[in-house]
Structure 1
Amino acid sequence: MAEDKDDVDDHWHVSAACFNCGAVRTAAPNLFIERNGASAFAHQPASEQETEDAWRGVLLCPAAAVRAPKGLKMPAGLFPQVMAPGVWRLGYNARSSYGAHSYFTLAGGLRLMIDGPRWSGHLERWIAEAGGLDHILLTHRDDVADAGLYAKRFGARVWIHANDADGAPLVTDFVTGDQAHEMLPGVRVIPVAGHTRGSVMFLVNQALFSGDSLSWDFEKRALHAFRDFCWYDWPTQLRSLERLVHESFSGVFAGHGGSVVLDAPAMQRELRTFLDAVKAD
């Protein structure tokens, strides 16, 4: 049954424009669920935190499908959102990247964007106030979005693995090979071919920006990888992920899927549990 217009106007809701990218569910799993092949509110926001999460959904949703009650005023300062010390989620997810999350972080005095949001004047002003943008680090070809516009605005260098190079606008630098190494001061790149041939992760100050190769499943409370959305080769992706047992990280910040912060030993336990489970599957 269709909702009455007055009822919709009085309640938070997700419109039929939703194309089920899952972005709001992975940003606010306390508030959004999947229902009938689309995102939906699990319940109406019942606290100040849940109301902020709902408003973040409005800004984050690439289909503009998250709708607030008529007359309710949006608070300021929702994005960029602090995820961990020195890590911000940018929001403003793009339809062209199927709603992937993107991030901003600092390393060695450099200001870095990880993957691309859609263009936003608000983000442009925030980045300018933060001192600009030195590098845009692309985890793979799928999550580029409007990275080229931000690169042009701030004169930033754009990095992607050579095997995914044809998916990046204004690319200036290529990651090559299949060995982890320090590509910039304080930035370690870890090639993880599998989701795409040129997928990589970036490790910055214990924060692992994992693209679409590894994420956190809030329902299972476990690390997860998307076998059904592996575009290159699943066995290759699993072999690539095994490299992470030699790295130290306490946060996983995903493009698609959930993000999580644990202590480094706990993260390694979760990683080994995940790898053991997928090998046994």
Structure 2
Amino acid sequence: MTVHVVKFIDTGVYHCGYHSDKSFGAASYLIVRAEGNILVDSPRYTTKLENNLKMLGGARYMFLTHSDDVADHEKWSNHLGCERILHLLEVDHSTAAVEIKLEGSGPWNLGDDVTLVHTPGHTEGSVCLLYKPHKVLFTGDHFAMGELGWTIAERYNKFSVPKQLSSVKLMLDLDFEWMLPGHGRRTKFRDVEDKNLSLRAFLETKMQLL
């Protein structure tokens, strides 16, 4: 049987497809790791995708970047037996049963290879996931490359634009070369220096908002 999720070369990360209208069409990813796979945000539930994910080892955790992109989280939790992770500030009646609720400003670790970074702004409890072995940052709706360049999608901000820009500054201290957002283009930098030059240029254009 063929696995239909799409792998990023040499990253151990798969794009799940099956984007859900419940998450405004946001992308979802699977991180394959010896310590237990991590499903990042929720795709639309289908038995075909469930079978494909199980062929890759299922999921130990479902990490939810924020409240917008939870989609079919409960179905996935039931079918894969994964523990869900969401910041307490993002929890509402639909996610009250999430197993792991992050509190405070972190960072939090899932083993030595994964760090969760609080990036408030788009929402108060938005969190990014840094997969250290392959230098991949999953940004949810926090930051992305859009059609016209870098964007924090101010139009859709639900908490604080200045806070969101301050959280973008935090990314200068993170060691990553891939950026995989919920919305927008997946981006590969040449190296960390290239990433920081690009982020600093963006921030300079937004200084009046800080």
TM-score normalised according to structure 1 size: 0.68
Query: Which of residues 46, 50, 54 in structure 2 aligns to 1:124?
Result: 50
Instruction: Confirm whether residue 135 of structure 1 aligns to residue 61 of structure 2.
Output: yes
Query: Which of residues 86, 90, 95 in structure 1 aligns to 2:12?
Result: 86
**What's the counterpart of residue 51 of structure 1?**
none
Residue 100 of structure 1 aligns to which amino acid in structure 2? A
2:80 and 2:3 map into 1 onto residues whose CA distance is 23
Contact 2:86 2:100 in 1 (8 A): yes
Give secondary structure in 2 for the equivalent of 1:110: coil
Residue 89 of structure 2 aligns to which amino acid in structure 1? N
Instruction: Confirm whether residue 212 of structure 1 aligns to residue 141 of structure 2.
Output: yes
1:106 and 1:268 map into 2 onto residues whose CA distance is 27
Instruction: Confirm whether residue 251 of structure 1 aligns to residue 175 of structure 2.
Output: no
1:111 and 1:212 map into 2 onto residues whose CA distance is 22
How far does the alpha carbon of each residue in 1:232-252 deviate from its partner, in whole angstroms, 9 at most, with x for none?
111111112211111111011
Query: Which of residues 75, 81, 85 in structure 2 aligns to 1:155?
Result: 81
2:158 and 2:3 map into 1 onto residues whose CA distance is 33
**What's the counterpart of residue 103 of structure 2?**
176
Poorly superposed stretches of 4+, deviation over 3 Å: 76-79
Question: How far apart are residue 83 of structure 1 and its match?
Answer: 2.8
Considering only aligned residues, what root-mean-square deviation do their CA atoms show, in Å? Answer: 1.9
Instruction: Confirm whether residue 197 of structure 1 aligns to residue 124 of structure 2.
Output: yes
1:275 and 1:227 map into 2 onto residues whose CA distance is 14
1:210 and 1:98 map into 2 onto residues whose CA distance is 15
How far does the alpha carbon of each residue in 1:69-121 deviate from its partner, in whole angstroms, 9 at most, with x for none?
xxxxxxx9684112342111111000111101110013452101000000111
Residue 157 of structure 1 aligns to which amino acid in structure 2? E
Contact 2:5 2:17 in 1 (8 A): yes
2:2 and 2:117 map into 1 onto residues whose CA distance is 33
Instruction: Confirm whether residue 277 of structure 1 aligns to residue 205 of structure 2.
Output: yes
Contact 2:123 2:159 in 1 (8 A): yes
Give secondary structure in 2 for the equivalent of 1:128: helix
Contact 1:186 1:204 in 2 (8 A): yes
What stretches of structure 1 of length at least 5 have no aligned partner? 1-75
Question: How far apart are residue 163 of structure 1 and its match?
Answer: 0.4
1:77 and 1:100 map into 2 onto residues whose CA distance is 24
Query: What is the count of residue pairs matched by the alignment?
Result: 204
TM-score normalised according to structure 2 size: 0.90
How far does the alpha carbon of each residue in 1:216-259 deviate from its partner, in whole angstroms, 9 at most, with x for none?
12x44x43211111011111111122111111110110001221
Residue 231 of structure 1 aligns to which amino acid in structure 2? K
1:223 and 1:242 map into 2 onto residues whose CA distance is 13
Residue 260 of structure 1 aligns to which amino acid in structure 2? T
Residue 6 of structure 2 aligns to which amino acid in structure 1? Q
Q: In percent, how many aligned pairs have the same letter?
A: 27
2:41 and 2:180 map into 1 onto residues whose CA distance is 11
Question: How far apart are residue 179 of structure 1 and its match?
Answer: 3.2
Question: How far apart are residue 181 of structure 1 and its match?
Answer: 3.4
State the structure with more CA Rg: 1
Query: Which of residues 161, 164, 174 in structure 2 aligns to 1:237?
Result: 164
